[in-house]
Amino acid sequence: MVFSQAWNDQSPNNKGIPEIYINSGNNEYYNLDTSGWPVFSENDDSQGYLYDVNLDGFQDLIMYPLKANFTANVEIYLSNKNITN
């Protein structure tokens, strides 16, 4: 997993969703399709990462702005399943 790129007008516009690479075995990786995931609600530069916030064994999505002068909102989306399901 890598941190997301800053939000921008270029395609694809990830709005805080991190790029996630899954090991499929034999040293091969694929980029997980995150197109159905929630995006950062503010129209500002943002980034996100996965972390098990509530310690239930599932990776949760945390997104926040790159600059605190516009907003200091942090958005946490709790998961109830493995990200590859």
| Predicted TM-score (pTM) of this structure | 0.76
* Strand order, beta sheet including 75-77: 46-51, 60-65, 75-77
Task: Give the end-to-end CA distance of the chain in Å, rounded to a whole number.
Answer: 16
- Give phi and psi for 66, each to the nearest 5: -80, -25
Residue-wise pLDDT tens digits, 45-54: 788 899 999 9
The total of other beta-carbon atoms located within 10 Å of residue 73's CB is: 14
Distance CA 46, CA 84 (A): 24
Residue-wise pLDDT tens digits, 12-58: 557 788 888 888 888 899 888 888 888 888 877 788 899 999 999 99
